[in-house]
Amino acid sequence: MNPDTSAIRRIVIVGGGSAGWMCAAPLAQVFGSTPGGPANPVGCEIVLIESADIGTVGVGEATLPSIRAYNDALGLDNADFMRRTQASFKLGIEFKDWGYVGNRFFHGFGGFGPAIVNRSSVAHWLRLAREGGMASHEEWSVATMMARHNRFAPPEAGPPSAANAFSYAFHFDAGLYAAYLRDYAVARGVQREEGTIVDVSVRPGDGFVTAVTLADGRRIAGDLFIDCSGFRALLIEGVCRAGYHDWTHWLPCDSAQAVPCEKVQPLTPYTTSTAHSAGWQWRIPLQHRTGNGHVYSSAHISDEDASRVLMSHLDGAPQGEPRQLRFKTGLRRKVWDRNVVAVGLSSGFLEPLESTSLSLVIHGISALVELFPDRRCEPHLVDEYNRRMTRQYESIRDFIILHYKLTHRDDSAFWRYCRGMSIPDTLAHQIDTFRRNGRVVILDRDSFGEDSWYSLFLGLGLQPEGLDPLLRQVDAAPLRAHFQRLHAAIAKTVEGMPDHAAYLARMVATRGA
C-alpha cells in the first residue's frame, strides 16, 4: 500500500474536558501550525467534538510531577499557566487516619537521599533505626520537610544537593486548565466542533469507525478516533464493546461527592487525604478556593451520611452543594480497539487517592504519539499500546490497594472488609518481599518508584522482619555521620526557602516573555 494513501489524515477527538484537550494540545504540536507560521506540512487535521450539554467530571485537580514535563514539552510559560489555572504547588500528599486513627504520614515527591552501595538510602535508614537514635525517615525527604514548614522554591540547578533533591507538581482548577489547553490547541489548528453525537458509522467487515453524526445533522469523518467521552465511553464501549475489568472487589469505593469551599490560610503546598469510616476525603488548596471531596463505598454509608461527613470536615465556608459522582473502578479490556483509542475516564477509572488521573492521560497520549499508526492500525501497535497501559493501570491499582489493605483499623465494617479482602498476586508478592527483608519490588518503572513504596509501607506501619544482608557491609559509624550531615543540610536548606504563598504570589505577579 502506498504510504501516502495509508497515512492518517484526520484525527477526531470525542469529548473535551481535561482529557480531550490534553490529547489535542500535543497532537496540535506534532501536526499543527505555529500561530502566524506556515501551514501544517503533514496534512493531518485534528477535530475535537464537545458538547456544552454534557458536563465533565472535573475533580482531577491534583497532579503528579509528570504534569511538569507535559507542560514543558508544550512550551507553556509557568507563570502564565499558574495565573490562568489558579494553580498552587504540590510537594506530595499528607495522609491522616490511614493505617489507624491518629496516624499521619507524608508521601513526598523525590527521594530520601542518594543511594549507598547500590541500595536505597531508606534501606540503610532501616538498619540504623533498628539500632536506635534515628529520627523518622521522613526527615530525610526534602519535599516532606518543605511541606511540613509550608515552604517552596523550585529545585536549583547544579550538582546534587538538598536544594534539588525533590520534585513537585501542581494543584489547579481542571476546568480552567482544559480551557487553557483549548486556546493553545485551537491556535495551532485544532478544529473545535460543538455538538452532541447521536450516531456512529462503522465500516462493514472490520468495524472501524468511519464517522460520527451530530444532533444537527453534521457528519464528521475521521481515520483515527480518540475517545475522551468520560464514563460514557461512547466509542470504546458503546461501539467497540471492548469490555471492562471490574476491580471493585479490591477497591470498593464507588461514589464521591465534591464541593469547593472558601480558601483558608495557610496556603499549603500539598494535598491532604483523610480517611473516614467508609472512605476518605481530599483537600486540594488553590489560589481562589479549596477543592474538597468524599470518596466512599455506597455499600457502607448512605449518600446523605456521606454528605454530612464531607460538609462537617470543611475548613472554609462551602461554595454550593456537593456534586454527586458514581464510578466503577477498573480498566477496559482493550484500551485501543480497531481505530478507537480511549484516553482518560473512558479507558478506566482509579480513585484519585494518588492523583493519577491526569498522569494516565499524559502516558496515554504520549504512548499514542510514540506508536502512531497509519489507517490500518496494525495489530502489533495496538497490542503494544494495550500492554503498556494495562501494566501501568495494574501497577497503580496495586499501589492504591496498598493504602487500604495494610490498615489496622477495625472501627467500621468498611475497614474490616479492607483488612480481610484478598488482593492481587502481584501486590501480595510486593508486600511479602518487603515484610521479609525490607526490599521493594517495582513491577512497572513508569509508575510509582521505590521511595514512594517505602513511604507507604513505613507510613502505614509495616516493619520488615529482616534486612538485606548487603546493608551490613557498610560500617555503621560513618553511615550514621553521613545521615547526620544530610539531616542538617536539609534543615538548613528548607529554613532558607520562602513561604509557599509568598513565592506563589511573586510568581503569578510576573509576566511571561
306 and 358 assigned to the same domain: no
Q: How far apart are CA 22 and CA 14, in angstroms?
A: 12
433 and 481 assigned to the same domain: yes
pLDDT in tens, 137-191: 999 999 999 999 999 999 999 999 999 999 999 999 999 999 999 999 999 999 9
Q: In the prediction, which pLDDT does 32 show?
A: 78
The residue with cell 467508609 is 278
- Cell numbers at residue 339, please? 481505530
* Under 8 Å between Cβ of 165 and 154: no
416 and 461 assigned to the same domain: yes
Q: In the prediction, which pLDDT does 1 show?
A: 39
Tell which residue, 224, 204, 220, 221, has the closest CA to residue 338. 224
Residue 55 has φ and ψ, to the nearest 5°, of: -75, 165
Q: Is residue 69 one of the residues assigned to a domain?
A: no
Q: In the prediction, which pLDDT does 52 show?
A: 80
Tell me which residue range forms the domain holding 305: 255-326
User: In angstroms, what CA-CA distances link 326 with 253, 349, 513?
Assistant: 9, 11, 43
333 and 321 assigned to the same domain: no
* Under 8 Å between Cβ of 220 and 12: yes
User: In angstroms, what CA-CA distances link 368 with 364, 393, 455, 476?
Assistant: 6, 16, 32, 49
Q: Which residues of the chain have pLDDT under 70?
A: 1-4, 33-42, 54-60, 511-513
Q: In the prediction, which pLDDT does 511 show?
A: 59
Label residue 473 exposed, middle or buried (CB < 10 Å: 0-12, 13-18, 19+).
Answer: exposed
**470-475 contacts: CB < 8 A, separation 24 or more?**
470/117, 470/119, 471/119, 471/123, 471/124, 471/126, 471/127, 472/127, 473/117, 474/116, 474/117, 474/124
Label residue 275 exposed, middle or buried (CB < 10 Å: 0-12, 13-18, 19+).
Answer: buried
**Active-site residue flag, 90:** yes
* Residues 271/275/280/282 CA torsion (nearest 10 deg): -20
55 and 183 assigned to the same domain: yes
265 and 241 assigned to the same domain: no
413 and 469 assigned to the same domain: yes
Total domains in the chain come to: 3
Among 377, 392, 415, where does a domain finish? Answer: 377
Q: Is residue 80 one of the residues assigned to a domain?
A: no
* Under 8 Å between Cβ of 283 and 292: yes
202 and 180 assigned to the same domain: yes
User: In angstroms, what CA-CA distances link 117 with 121, 216, 452, 460?
Assistant: 9, 66, 20, 27
| Paired strand residues for 212 | 200, 220
| DSSP structure string for 314-341 | -SS-B-SPPEEEE---EEES-SEETTEE
239 and 333 assigned to the same domain: yes
Among 286, 308, 326, where does a domain finish? Answer: 326
Q: Is residue 191 one of the residues assigned to a domain?
A: yes
Tell which residue, 257, 256, 275, 267, has the closest CA to residue 316. 267
Q: Is residue 505 one of the residues assigned to a domain?
A: no
412 and 449 assigned to the same domain: yes
CA 379 to chain centre: 28
229 and 354 assigned to the same domain: yes
Active-site residue, from 90, 263, 334, 492: 90
Q: In the prediction, which pLDDT does 252 show?
A: 97
| pTM of the full structure | 0.95
Q: How far apart are CA 323 and CA 57, in angstroms?
A: 10
Q: Is residue 507 one of the residues assigned to a domain?
A: no
Q: Is residue 180 one of the residues assigned to a domain?
A: yes
* Residues 229/231/235/238 CA torsion (nearest 10 deg): -150
Q: How far apart are CA 143 and CA 306, in angstroms?
A: 32
241 and 334 assigned to the same domain: yes
* Under 8 Å between Cβ of 462 and 435: yes
Q: Tell me, what amino acid is at 434?
A: F
Q: Is residue 312 one of the residues assigned to a domain?
A: yes
Provide the CATH number for the domain around residue 371. Answer: 3.50.50.60
Q: Is residue 67 one of the residues assigned to a domain?
A: no
* Under 8 Å between Cβ of 474 and 116: yes
